[in-house]
Amino acid sequence: MASLAVAACGKKEEPKAAAPAAAANAEEKVLNVYNWPDYVAQDMITNFEKETGIKVNYQTFENNEALQAKLVAGNSGFDIVVPGSVFVKAQIEAGLLKKLDKSQIPNYKNLDADLMKKLVGVDAGNEHVLPWAWSFTTVGINKAKVAKALGNTPMPDNAWDLVFNPTYTAKLKSCGIAYLDSPTEILPPALHYIGKNAYSEDAADHKAAGEMLAKVRKDIRLFSSTMIDDLAGGKACVALGWAGDINIAAKRAKENKSGQEIEALLPKTGGLIFFDTLAVPADAKHPNNAMAFINYFLKPEVSAALTNELGYPTANKASLANVEPETAQNKAVFPDEGNLGLMVPPAALGNAARESMTAVYTSFKKGK
């Protein structure tokens, strides 16, 4: 009665309070998602469609550079994209991402506040993005093949030597070394290996990393966008890749009963932590559906399924109870405090630094 009386007096407070839901209903029931390959739990999309009636169109991209090009071109048509933390700051500064409407994301409270602090450097106030998953860039190996190719040479103390030190790469080229195919995936670990800031914006540092890389170029078999298959299928015995994808390859090799054991190593000098983040392009046509998707993803059991099935750690603290013990105890999924302390935290790269890295990477890849 009281609310009817207020409405009869012509006051607008109550309709305003109901605005987000009304807006969500007004959008056509469509959501266009652009994510990395092998990065969603099996039933997540169908379950979201069933629960919300929103039809999801799902496409994938292979590296941050490809996503960046789509966002910069504009009118991508995507409502949800998943940029790596290294690109987020520049994307926010260029006005490419919308602020999240947290009033439509009640499950936002499930996120781990400590991990969210790690993103503040790329997204001040955590206003635009939140983690889909995180992991670290490292070296992955097929244990038996690497042992055979190294022969009498023992495994190095520092796992990065397997991909950057010619003494090791010369031996491992026989079973195949694969690098990720992207300047911003290769230059940061190369800089870290030569003792520079992994996210240095100094072109002279990039040049020095390029000189180190040139010495191993002849030993690199693949620049891979299909690292999981390349490792699990035997095209490569060593990978400079993401721990999460190496974990997937390990699982696949086991399921295929290949007898091959694949492992993501924890380098003594540390891997490079990254976050892949959920974001909404500034020109998204279905931002309310995007918020519904984010809120759905943040349900504990939904976030945990990504970690259980794919070996990428979740930043959803409330979901940790749903993570299977074997996955929770796997240090290649959730590194312990000691290892985390050694790792390079996520950071941003500006446009000029990325251009300089691209120039160095392109010459390295061409072998010139």
* Nearer Cβ to ligand SPD (168/361): 361
Give the closest residue to 265 by CA, choosing from 315, 182, 335.
Answer: 335
Residue 37 interacts with ligand SPD (CB under 6 A)?
yes
The answer to whether residue 36 forms part of the interface with ligand SPD (CB under 6 A) is yes
Task: Confirm or reject binding of residue 309 to ligand SPD (CB under 6 A).
Answer: no
- Note whether 219 binds ligand SPD by CB under 6 A: no
Question: Toward ligand SPD, which CB reaches closer, 79 or 276?
Answer: 276
Residues that bind ligand SPD (rule: CB under 6 A) add up to a total of 12
Closest CA to 193 of 207, 213, 173, 178: 213
Of residues 182-211, which lie at the interface with ligand SPD (CB under 6 A)?
185
Contact, 178 vs 233, CB < 8 A? no
Tell me which residue has tokens 């072109």: 203
Burial 174-197 (b: 16+ CB within 10 A, else e): ebbbbbbbbbbbbbbbbbbbeebe
The DSSP annotation for 203-264 comes to: HHHHHHHHHHHHTTGGG--EEES-HHHHHHTTS-SEEEEEHHHHHHHHHHHHHTT----EEE
At closest approach, how far in Å is the CB of 13 from ligand SPD?
44
Tokens 């006005």 map to which residue?
A: 95
C-alpha to C-alpha distance for 319 and 247, rounded to whole angstroms: 20
Which segment (16-24, 242-250, 327-335, 358-366) binds ligand SPD by CB under 6 A? Answer: 242-250
Is the CB of 131 or the CB of 176 nearer to ligand SPD?
A: 131
Q: Please say whether the beta carbons of 80 and 290 come within 8 A.
A: yes
- Do 293 and 312 form a contact (C-beta atoms < 8 A)? no
**Shortest distance in whole angstroms from residue 83 CB to ligand SPD:** 9
The site string for ligand SPD over 260-289 (x = CB under 6 A, - otherwise) reads --------------x-x-------------
CA distance 368 to 366: 5
- Nearest distance in Å: CB 251, ligand SPD: 12
> Which member of 23, 27, 29, 39 binds ligand SPD (CB under 6 A)?
39
Tokens 């298959």 sit at which residue?
A: 229
- Smallest gap from residue 68 Cβ to ligand SPD (A): 12
User: Between 164 and 168, whose beta carbon lies closer to ligand SPD?
Assistant: 164
Residue span binding ligand SPD (CB under 6 A) among the ranges 37-45, 158-166, 286-294, 325-333: 37-45
In one-letter notation, the amino acid at residue 343 is M
Report the residue number, 210 or 271, with the smaller CB distance to ligand SPD.
271
Interface positions, 71-90, toward ligand SPD (CB under 6 A): 84, 86
Residue 164 or 274 having the CB closest to ligand SPD: 274
Contact between 131 and ligand SPD by CB under 6 A: the answer reads no
90, 351 in Cβ contact below 8 A? Answer: yes
Q: Which is nearer to ligand SPD, 3 or 197 (CB)?
A: 197
Residues near ligand SPD (CB under 6 A):
36-39, 84, 86, 185, 242, 244-245, 274, 276
